[in-house]
Amino acid sequence: MIKRLSLISIFSMLPASFYYAQTTVFAYVKDDKGAPIENAEVMLQNGDEDILADKIGYFQLVDMKPGHYKITVMKPNFENKVLEFDVLANEKRKNLGTVTLYSNLGTQDLGLVLIDSSNDTDEIAAKPTLGLLHSSQDVFSNVASFDLGNYWFRPRGVDGRMSSYMINGINMANPDRGIVNYSDWGGLNDITKYPEIAENHAPSEYGFGGAGGVVSKYTNASSYRKGFQLTQSLTNRNYRYRTSLRYTSGMSRNGWVFTIMGARRWAQEGIQEGTFYDAYGTYLGIEKRFGNKHSITFNFIGSPYRRSTASPMTEEVKNYRGIHYNAYWGWQNGRKRSERIKEGFQPIFQISDFLKLGEKSNLVTTVSYQFGKDKSSRLDWYNAQNPSTLYYKNLPSYWFGREGATSEDLEEGEFLKNKWETNDPNYTQINWEALYNANRGREQSVYYLVNDVNDDKIWNAATHFTYNFGGDTSFYLNLAYQNYNSEQYREVRDLLGGDYALNQDPYASTNQPGKTGLLNETDNNIRKKVGDKIGYDYIFSRQEVNVNPSLKFRAGNFDVFVSGLFSYSSSSRDGKFKHYLYDNSYGKSKEKIFWNTGLKGQVVYRINGRNFLKYNGAFYSQAPYLTNLYPNARVNAVTPPNIQSTVINANDISYIMSTPFVKIRATAYLLNSYHGTDIQRFFADGIQLSNVDAQGNITNAQSAFVTQLMTDVEKRNMGAELGIQANILPTLVATGVVSYGEYTYRNNPAVYFMSDAAGIFPNGETYINYGKSYIRNFKVGGTPQKAYSFGLKYNSPKFWWIGASWNYLDDNYLDPSSILRTDFFVTNPNTGTPYAGVDRAEYRRLTKQVKLKDGSFFNVNAGKSFLIGKYYLLITASVNNILDNTSYATGGFEQTRNVNFADFRRDHDRENPYFAPKYFYLQGRQYFVNLQLRF
């Protein structure tokens, strides 16, 4: 009897959860070879304590109440894995199956690579390249990011603007040019790593995306490992040093958790001459849990930065000064001073609400606000000679190449050649003293520094809804709204000893005789001082709404994922300056409205547990970026004729093998784009633009800043990809990657010209149609179209590794200048007939597309991790281009200065053409050493 009562007493003291919540959730943690991972840490979001997997990788969560849960499985030297699941009221045991963790040895925290192709914005059409390295479980994508990506390789040749980068459900791309400014969260690698990735044009749960993939990261404060993480890095890239510290408090008993991080990257001088770097990164995440079904997270991200940029160069200049030469700086009072400085601070504030609506549905809503200014400085001048050392008249080739060169010309050429070969900074760098002397003794500055400013205010709201029908069928709905407002203007930065700069067109007296030349006729004061607006001032506005429903389900051996898009955007330009040539420069323009739709689909056929066939398809339209919609926005609100949404049709099919010993992906892809718009701004000599005033008088602008515009552009990107990973030994892994692409223009698009100096053309428009540009079958530039990589990596059981890879890239081209491939280029305006000497062979010789040199590179990386009690120490090192290949140009552009056949041929045939292509060169051997301490 006593024993009976004792048993009753014991059971009566058990907690109520014993009777009502006895669900056990369990799983096995293994690596990608199928081996168990012992002591993997399992962190339950909003839970009090973490648990560890045992020797066979097994873990279990007991006494789980019905609800929605998220766990993070982590282990040093492996990528984190996040799992979400639901516990139902009638479940006793829930099997999560096998949780596979992928090694990140060899790719751990190699740093943020910023590839800045906008140093010469008047010369280059904005074509963003790979900006952020990210790891992937796919061997091809992993090698493309961490090995080939260092050499400006873009998978499938896809423009970076066709991808989506999302933080807490908010698309971070700027609708101005469609690019993502990674500097806004620069240095915060520990916060943004391990995102969810949908490769290429595959559908995603989090957004429709484009042809370049979707990267989505939720920065919940509770998703980071409790404790401190200190990182110290040493490199010879844009910056030299990096220091960061992150701390996560862990969940308190009353449901609070916070994560805070600070980082700095800096260099007194980077890898290129005269460049400096100083950037900070800050993050604060505060999360509050309200039971098991509701939490709210506040995120702050702020990364002020200040850095200088480097110039492209012609081959002539590279032969004189080498690949590290930079024309944008000069000595002043014993210190290097740069004219091209980028600085900005655009903090991001976000509030995210995570709500469990029931056993089968969840809702995540984020409201975001970002504001602040980005500034880019440069030299400007008024009725004075171009002070750049790269100006063609300041180079030896100008004097050697003059027709009928005299002995005095040749003597001057030899003099300048000697100055360049001996690196006399008075001739090879900006001569700041000469600029101050030119302004001395006068009130008006003829040389001065300006800032091009973007003052942004961006509101975003996004909702991510999920509903699980049970089994393998889920519905997703993403709603997004953006309100973008950006005032873009130029301001006086430094008058270089003068009192004021004139807000007036210096070419008006010759190009527009009799007109005021005022760049803002509403302002009586044209004498501008430091901080005053000068040149242009306008506001870009866009409102955009996106609706993205998706359905994922399984039918027999097929896994199907279908995603749709419905999009609305309304855009306008509001001019704050009234330009003397353009009536529509002032005031708000009409709204430009675009409706867009899209469909993506993925079908996976499971041949068996190791072999798969996968198809991805996408067909969608995309509204023009604001800079394409208003190509000459600095002076007017004109939109290109017949501009329309770009249409993308992308398809690929893959065979995938996944075994513990071999992984293979073989893919064939085809991507067609239609109705595209490409823009380039430059200064053109000899273009002879005619304009008409209100009285019908015609004048000619012999030289002017112009905007070259191609509309209705069609492109085709097709090719094949192969990625293989083989475990030769349990500790030795081999990888091989092949990318074989053909990226071409598929039509002869229309070419239009707009000019800052022409005003109204004889056709009565603010643009002139130069007909078709014959670029069909020309290669699309900006990335190597062929790439090959082979690597070996040894992983020691004692937690150290060493790896090496050989990489080869070829078929990289400069984009063709459209005006040089038109009838206008070969037609003599005086006779209306072709220039003398024009025939098919000569035309092809002169307009042959510029192909860049191929390149072969050898990379090495190594590392070692230590676990000492509760302290985890990781040391990694990598060296790229270890053989120091300095002849590889990553990109560049044709200088479109002479736009008629006769002048172009004369220049082309010089030993060193005045207007030869300019290139960006790979900066030689680069290293990155990283130390990470967790405790």
Whether 116 contacts 923, CB under 8 Å: no
| Residue 325 maps to a domain | no
Phi/psi for 461 (5° steps) reads -140, 135
Q: Which two tokens mark 470?
A: 């049970």
**Which residue carries 């992150």 as its tokens?**
246
**Which residue carries 């190597």 as its tokens?**
784
DSSP sequence for 133-196? ----SSHHHHHHHHTGGGGT--GGG--GGGSEEEETTEE-B-TTTS-B-GGGGTT-HHHH-S-E
Q: Which two tokens mark 819?
A: 């005006």
Query: Listing from the earlier edge strand, what are the strands of the sheet with 81-87?
Result: 51-52, 41-44, 67-74, 81-87
Across 607-697, the runs of DSSP E, i.e. the strands, are 611-622, 646-658, 662-692
Tell me whether residue 905 is exposed, middle or buried, using C-beta atoms within 10 angstroms of its C-beta: 0 to 12, 13 to 18, 19 or more: middle
DSSP code of residue 783 = S
The residue out of 74, 100, 126 marking a domain boundary is 100
Quick one: pLDDT at residue 78? 78
Quick one: pLDDT at residue 775? 96
Of 743, 832, 658, residue with least CA distance to 156: 743
The residue out of 400, 428, 456 marking a domain boundary is 428
Amino acid at residue number 384: A
Positive or negative, the Cα torsion across 517, 519, 525, 530?
negative
Classified as helix, coil or strand, 128 is: coil
In whole angstroms, give the CA distance from residue 271 to residue 325: 10
| Residue 628 maps to a domain | no
Quick one: pLDDT at residue 814? 95
Whether 530 contacts 495, CB under 8 Å: yes
The residue out of 100, 121, 149 marking a domain boundary is 100
Classified as helix, coil or strand, 5 is: helix
Whether 355 contacts 293, CB under 8 Å: yes
Task: List for the chain the helix, strand, coil content (%; round to 5).
Answer: 15, 50, 40
Provide the number of structural domains found in the chain. Answer: 2
| Residue 60 maps to a domain | yes
Q: How many helices (H) and strands (E) does the chain have?
A: 14, 44
Report the Cα 796 to chain-centroid distance in Å.
36
Q: How many beta carbons lie within 10 A of that of residue 264, not counting itself?
A: 16
Q: How many beta carbons lie within 10 A of that of residue 176, not counting itself?
A: 18
Classified as helix, coil or strand, 600 is: strand
In whole angstroms, give the CA distance from residue 757 to residue 701: 7
Helices (H), 578-718: 626-629
Positive or negative, the Cα torsion across 911, 913, 914, 916?
negative
Quick one: pLDDT at residue 370? 98
Q: What angle do CA 438, 441, 447 make, to 5 degrees?
A: 30
Whether 416 contacts 399, CB under 8 Å: yes
In whole angstroms, give the CA distance from residue 880 to residue 147: 8
> Domain range for residue 414?
392-428
Cα dihedral 208, 210, 212, 216 in deg (nearest 10)? -30
Report the Cα 502 to chain-centroid distance in Å.
36
Total-model pTM: 0.88
Whether 414 contacts 395, CB under 8 Å: no
The residue ranges of the chain whose pLDDT is under 50 are: 1-21, 110-133, 686, 692, 694-696, 698
| Residue 39 maps to a domain | yes
Whether 201 contacts 600, CB under 8 Å: yes
| Residue 935 maps to a domain | no
Q: What angle do CA 576, 580, 583 make, to 5 degrees?
A: 65
Q: Which two tokens mark 420?
A: 């360049």
- pLDDT tens digits, one per residue of 259-317: 999 999 999 999 999 999 999 999 999 999 998 889 999 999 999 999 999 999 999 99
Taking only Cα atoms into account, the Rg of the chain, rounded to an integer number of angstroms, comes to 30
The CATH number given to whatever domain includes residue 71 is 2.60.40.1120
DSSP code of residue 522 = T
| Residue 826 maps to a domain | no
Q: Which two tokens mark 757?
A: 């100096």
| Residue 501 maps to a domain | no
| Residue 923 maps to a domain | no
Helices (H), 387-484: 396-400, 407-421, 425-428, 432-439
In whole angstroms, give the CA distance from residue 720 to residue 701: 48
Quick one: pLDDT at residue 17? 39
